[in-house]
């Protein structure tokens, strides 16, 4: 039995998802016989709480800014505490979509064409021919993302909102029509499966990801086996190109008309909620939720 701190909640817009993920993981760890302490890093006092807890390992169930971008990993490195998922550098790289794309390009992975812009510049006029996608450069869970369709008069007016909270840099990318696909990778096991995500709204936004009935998942995806193999190898290559550890999930677009795939991003701490994709893929290959959580904990180490 280990003494495990589960970090959950946090400060990012993905806080509600992290609370659900973290509590699910904490319950699984308790069922596995571990002593579990939950800490919600809403203020600087969490570091003192963590020191007082003196855990054998930290299970990081935070999502998004501060929890998934290398900053929390840096604190855990400083404290020399074993922790789950990816280390400081790979977490920071994965969260910065533009920098991770540079790593993926060097690794020869298939990508959508795009460019990094200040959000106000992206709002002045169409930065590329529609359709295209505008997304915050350093956010997750599809927050702050807009699809600009053909015929749109101008870029999204939300980019001009003085209360915009998703950072000043946005990534503008060509929109690739077709299927939304995702692949989970376990560090020592490789890719698990390919899931097609079919949103019940216009696209796979935050609500479609995390609301009950917001989307349905088809596993395995209804695609040619050669394409599935290509996606799984690309997900593994992306995981290793960034130097990731633990579990990651790589998101893709696939246009069957042009037989083209594009890697969109790697999630270094994918969701562990009841509707999350990684637990679903683990179940597909015969691994229960508790077994998955147990594997993630056993994989914890320092330094990462």
DSSP string computed for 156-190: -GGGG-TT--S-SEEEEEE---SEEEEEEEETTTE
Give the pLDDT score at 140.
63
Give the pLDDT score at 243.
97
Domain with CATH 3.30.1490 in the chain: 114-174
Which is more confident, 235 or 167? 235
Contacts of 71 (CB under 8 A, 6+ apart): none
* Distance, CA of 236 to CA of 238 (rounded, Å): 5
Q: For domain 94-111+176-287, give the fold.
A: D-amino Acid Aminotransferase; Chain A, domain 1 (3.30.470)
First to last CA, the chain: 22
* Distance, CA of 40 to CA of 54 (rounded, Å): 16
Distances (CA, A) of 302 to 76, 91, 231, 239: 9, 15, 30, 19
Give the pLDDT score at 79.
97
Which residues are catalytic, by number? 14, 141, 210, 249, 251, 265, 267, 271
How confident is the model over 228-250, as a mean pLDDT?
98
Give the pLDDT score at 201.
56
Q: Which of 180, 298, 167 is nearest to 249 (CA)?
A: 180
Q: Which of 87, 95, 90 is nearest to 136 (CA)?
A: 95
Give the pLDDT score at 92.
97
* Distance, CA of 158 to CA of 161 (rounded, Å): 5
Displacement of CA 38 from its chain's centroid (Å): 22
Q: What is the band of 258 on the pLDDT scale with cuts at 50, 70, 90?
A: very high
How confident is the model over 45-59, as a mean pLDDT?
96
Q: What is the band of 27 on the pLDDT scale with cuts at 50, 70, 90?
A: very high
Give the pLDDT score at 151.
85
DSSP state of 173: E
Token couple for 248:
């990651």
Query: Would you tell me which CATH number, out of the four given (1.10.1220, 1.10.3470, 3.30.1490, 3.10.590), belongs to the domain 114-174?
Result: 3.30.1490
Give the pLDDT score at 141.
52
DSSP SS3 for 57: strand
* Distance, CA of 300 to CA of 270 (rounded, Å): 16
Q: Which of 40, 13, 44 is nearest to 163 (CA)?
A: 13
**pLDDT single digits (tens) 95-120:** 999 999 999 999 999 999 999 999 99
Q: Are strands 190-199 and 179-186 parallel, antiparallel or unpaired?
A: antiparallel
Query: Would you tell me which CATH number, out of the four given (3.40.605.10, 3.40.50.20, 3.40.190.290, 3.40.30.10), belongs to the domain 3-86?
Result: 3.40.50.20
Q: What is the band of 262 on the pLDDT scale with cuts at 50, 70, 90?
A: very high
> For 219, left (φ over 0), alpha (ψ -120 to 50), or beta?
beta
Give the pLDDT score at 144.
78
Is pLDDT of 200 > 60?
A: yes
Site of tokens 């400081």: 88
Distances (CA, A) of 259 to 71, 104, 112: 38, 20, 14
Give the pLDDT score at 20.
96
Token couple for 301:
């180490």
Q: Which of 112, 103, 100, 71 is nearest to 88 (CA)?
A: 71
- Report whether 234 contacts 252 (CB < 8 A): yes
* Number of helices and strands in the chain (H, E): 10, 12
Q: What is the band of 1 on the pLDDT scale with cuts at 50, 70, 90?
A: confident
Domain with CATH 3.40.50.20 in the chain: 3-86
* Distance, CA of 194 to CA of 22 (rounded, Å): 25
């Amino acid at each position: 039995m280990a003494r495990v701190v589960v970090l959950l909640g946090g400060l990012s817009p993905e806080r509600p998802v992290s609370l659900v993920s973290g509590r699910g993981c904490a319950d699984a760890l308790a069922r596995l016989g571990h002593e579990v302490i939950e800490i919600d890093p809403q203020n600087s006092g969490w570091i003192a709480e963590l020191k007082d807890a003196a855990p054998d390992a930290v299970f990081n169930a935070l999502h998004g800014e501060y929890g998934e971008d290398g900053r929390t990993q840096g604190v855990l490195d400083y404290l020399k505490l074993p922790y789950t998922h990816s280390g400081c550098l790979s977490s920071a790289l994965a969260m910065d979509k533009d920098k991770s794309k540079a790593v993926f390009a060097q690794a020869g992975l298939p990508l959508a064409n795009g460019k990094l812009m200040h959000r106000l510049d992206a709002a002045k006029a169409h930065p590329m021919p529609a359709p295209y996608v505008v997304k915050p450069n350093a956010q997750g869970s599809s927050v702050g993302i807009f699809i600009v369709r053909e015929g749109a008069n101008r870029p999204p007016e939300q980019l001009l909102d003085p209360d915009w909270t998703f950072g000043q840099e946005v990534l503008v990318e060509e929109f690739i029509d077709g299927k939304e696909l995702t692949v989970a990778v376990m560090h020592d096991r490789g890719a698990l499966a390919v899931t097609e995500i079919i949103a019940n709204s216009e696209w796979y936004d935050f609500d479609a990801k995390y609301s009950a009935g917001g989307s349905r998942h088809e596993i395995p995806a209804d695609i040619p086996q050669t394409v599935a193999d290509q996606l799984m190898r690309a997900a593994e290559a992306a995981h290793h190109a960034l130097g990731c550890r633990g579990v990651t999930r790589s998101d893709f677009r696939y246009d069957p008309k042009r037989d083209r795939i594009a890697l969109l991003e790697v999630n270094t701490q994918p969701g562990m909620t009841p509707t999350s994709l990684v637990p679903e893929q683990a179940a597909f290959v015969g691994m229960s939720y508790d077994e998955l959580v147990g594997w993630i904990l056993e994989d914890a180490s320092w330094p990462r």
